[in-house]
Amino acid sequence: MSTEANPLREGMPDERTVKPTAFVIFGASGDLTRRKLLPAVYNLASSRLLPGSFALVGVARRPKPDFADEMREAVSKYSRRKPLDEATWSDLGKGIRYVQGDFNDPATYARLAEDLGRLEKERGTQNRVFYLSVAPTEVPAIVKGLCDAKLVVPHSLDADAPYQRVVVEKPFGEDLASARALNRELLACLDERQIYRIDHYLGKETVQNLLVFRFGNTIFEPLWSRQHVSQVQITVAEEIGIEGRGKFYDKVGITRDIVQNHALQILTMMAMEPPSSWDADAVRDEKVKVLRALRPIRGREVLDRTVRAQYAAGAVRGDRVSGYREEPDVDPRSMTETFVAMSLRLDSFRWGGVPFYLRSGKRLAKRCAEVALHFKPLPHRLFRDAAGSTDEPNVLVVRIQPDEGIALRFATKVPGGSMAMRNVAMDFRYGTAFGSSTPEAYERLILDAMRGDATLFTRADEVEAQWGFIDPILNGWREHEAPMASYESGSWGPREADKLLVAGDTWRRP
Ligand code: BG6
């Protein structure tokens, strides 16, 4: 069923007004542009969500005389809508330009200014979004180049003045010190309201739905606390390995690549207090409070509250795969983790005493991102003697991906003359309810950047609070030579992760 034809959507306005915009991608020759950004822009065009006047300019060092053709090919391959609609592409293609140049060279910005000026005359695209899909070390030079060339001017409070916004891809720095330095450099010439730090998990429908589920219903929120919840498990598992990104990955590891951003974002949405409004700062204030309530894991505590590991050879979906240290461009003695598990605590009235178990890994048994709330056991087991009776708790699982949905496990009576019980699941599936063509995270985020809505982007203090929690763990591992466990590819991670659990708890098998 197409989303457009979905009866559950009837009466819901889908149109958003976006001002005429030039969308400029720095790092346009990279993988993200091909796989995610261009397909997202094309899908926005297909959904008629782009402004009538729109232009796209790629900037990168490599010469790309056939940029528009390459992008057409990428969209045909990676777009969620297939086949490519020629009319939509032809409209979009007319506004595509490419500027070749070094990010440190003022001449690059002069050429970009000329192109943008021409586009503005031809297409009326006086507003600009600069999307920096580059390494964090390249961001300061680009922002300086943009500001020196007056392509970005100070933020105006006049809502009718043309806008310039800068979207910064992750990773945002590589530790707290570099993230702070990056924030300082950005804020030296931009206003926080012009900066959009991306974490694409926030663009995922199901991550946003965590807030609708919690704060758009009356029945769940009263259960959402230490009074009723005994433990929370957050899993971000991937089947894929490092996909030829050895050079990058071996310097980064899963804690910086996934936990510092995606997993902590899921945690904040899951644990935050209700904001007073759906306003960027109201929402982000509450998220920052969660990050600040995270009990730090420092020094030797890393040995008891975290486990790091690397994948060894194994089989994923029947295919033999090699171990991490055998991957191309990975140091054969590498101490970079591809799996991490942590036992976290939130020092707050709502969550005091509830273990938050978090794990993330590459080459695990199944691709799966989810949050599972385990509810407290019954105070008295009335049906202890019934056939099939167990002391398994009620569990509420929010499936972020794949198979997006929400399931509640509870006990029922098995029909028949005797008292027999079985656990069943009440299961809501996005795919069935709303059709399968859910917009991709990047579609929502690009649209929001053009609309000036920063709710789903990370604020400066937020990203610093994330690093503030992660830094001591990375330092603790180094200083205390934390062991590097190993797990078979295609498994659910190392056995050592079990030692993090409170007696009686077990890791879920999603
Ligand atoms: C990226 C990481 O941010 O997220 C990748 O750099 C990871 O290593 C990817 O594979 C996962 O994103 P998704 O949307 O496929 O879950």
CATH label of the domain that carries residue 116? 3.40.50.720
Last-in-domain residue among 172, 199, 226:
199
Q: Which of helix, strand or coil describes residue 210?
A: helix
What is the rounded average pLDDT of the residues 408-420?
Answer: 95
What is the rounded average pLDDT of the residues 89-115?
Answer: 96
Domains in the chain: how many in total?
2
Question: Does residue 442 lie within any of the structural domains?
Answer: no
Confidence of residue 8 (pLDDT cuts 50, 70, 90): low
Asked whether 59 and 99 are in contact (CB, 8 A), the reply is yes
Question: Does residue 265 lie within any of the structural domains?
Answer: yes
**Which of 148-152, 177-181, 205-209 shows the lowest mean pLDDT across its residues?**
205-209
- What is the share, in percent, of the chain residues with pLDDT greater than 70? 97
Residues 182 and 210 in one domain: no
Residues 185 and 286 in one domain: no
Residues 157 and 250 in one domain: no
**What pLDDT was estimated at residue 476?**
98
Ligand 1: which atom is nearest the Cα of residue 262?
Answer: 3
Does 473 have pLDDT greater than 60? yes
**What pLDDT was estimated at residue 2?**
39
- DSSP lists the bridge partners of residue 167 as 131, 196
**What pLDDT was estimated at residue 157?**
81
CA 387 to chain centroid: 43
Residues 338 and 265 in one domain: yes
Kindly report the protein residue whose alpha carbon is nearest to atom 14 of ligand 1. Answer: 201
Confidence of residue 13 (pLDDT cuts 50, 70, 90): very low
Residues 179 and 210 in one domain: no
| 257 within ligand 1 shell (Cβ under 6 A) | yes
Confidence of residue 438 (pLDDT cuts 50, 70, 90): confident
Confidence of residue 6 (pLDDT cuts 50, 70, 90): low
Residues 71 and 130 in one domain: yes
Residues 71 and 119 in one domain: yes
Residues 210 and 301 in one domain: yes
Question: Does residue 421 lie within any of the structural domains?
Answer: no
Other C-beta atoms closer than 10 Å to the C-beta of 164 total: 23
What's the CA-to-centroid distance between 484 and ligand 1, angstroms?
22
Last-in-domain residue among 146, 176, 199:
199
Residues 170 and 259 in one domain: no
Ligand 1: which atom is nearest the Cα of residue 401?
Answer: 16
Confidence of residue 424 (pLDDT cuts 50, 70, 90): very high
Q: Which of 155, 200, 228, 262 is catalytic?
A: 262
Tell me the torsion sign for CA atoms 16, 19, 20, 25.
Answer: negative
Confidence of residue 433 (pLDDT cuts 50, 70, 90): confident
Q: Where are the beta strands (DSSP E) in 430-489?
A: 484-489
Residue span of the structural domain in which 55 resides? 14-199
Ligand 1: which atom is nearest the Cα of residue 238?
Answer: 10
Question: Does residue 222 lie within any of the structural domains?
Answer: yes
In tens, the pLDDT along 240-284 reads 999 989 999 999 999 999 999 999 999 999 999 999 999 999 999
**What pLDDT was estimated at residue 15?**
44
Give the span between the Cα atoms of 470 and 262, in whole angstroms.
13
Question: Does residue 244 lie within any of the structural domains?
Answer: yes
Question: Does residue 9 lie within any of the structural domains?
Answer: no
Tell me the torsion sign for CA atoms 76, 82, 86, 88.
Answer: negative
In tens, the pLDDT along 448-472 reads 999 999 999 999 999 999 999 999 9
Q: In CATH, what number is assigned to the domain containing residue 474? A: 3.30.360.10
- What stretches of 47-104 show up as alpha helix (H) in DSSP? 67-78, 86-93
- In degrees rounded to 5, what are phi and psi of residue 96? -95, 130
Does 163 have pLDDT greater than 90? yes
In tens, the pLDDT along 325-357 reads 999 999 999 999 999 999 999 999 999 999 999
What is the rounded average pLDDT of the residues 428-436?
Answer: 82
What's the CA-to-centroid distance between 486 and ligand 1, angstroms?
22
Other C-beta atoms closer than 10 Å to the C-beta of 36 total: 20
Does 3 have pLDDT greater than 50? no
Last-in-domain residue among 160, 181, 199:
199
In tens, the pLDDT along 46-65 reads 999 999 899 999 999 999 99
**What pLDDT was estimated at residue 213?**
95
**Which of 123-127, 152-156, 174-178 shows the lowest mean pLDDT across its residues?**
152-156
Asked whether 192 and 281 are in contact (CB, 8 A), the reply is no
Residues 53 and 20 in one domain: yes
Kindly report the protein residue whose alpha carbon is nearest to atom 2 of ligand 1. Answer: 257
- Does the global pTM surpass 0.75? yes
Question: Does residue 150 lie within any of the structural domains?
Answer: yes
Confidence of residue 156 (pLDDT cuts 50, 70, 90): confident
Q: Which of helix, strand or coil describes residue 270?
A: helix
What's the CA-to-centroid distance between 203 and ligand 1, angstroms?
13
480 is catalytic: no
Does 99 have pLDDT greater than 70? yes
- What is the share, in percent, of the chain residues with pLDDT greater than 90? 88
Residues 176 and 250 in one domain: no
Ligand 1: which atom is nearest the Cα of residue 240?
Answer: 10
Residues 180 and 232 in one domain: no
Confidence of residue 490 (pLDDT cuts 50, 70, 90): very high
Does 380 have pLDDT greater than 60? yes
What's the CA-to-centroid distance between 498 and ligand 1, angstroms?
25
Instruction: Please give the structure tokens belonging to residue 504.
Output: 């009686």
Question: Does residue 415 lie within any of the structural domains?
Answer: no
Amino acid at 273: E
Does 4 have pLDDT greater than 80? no
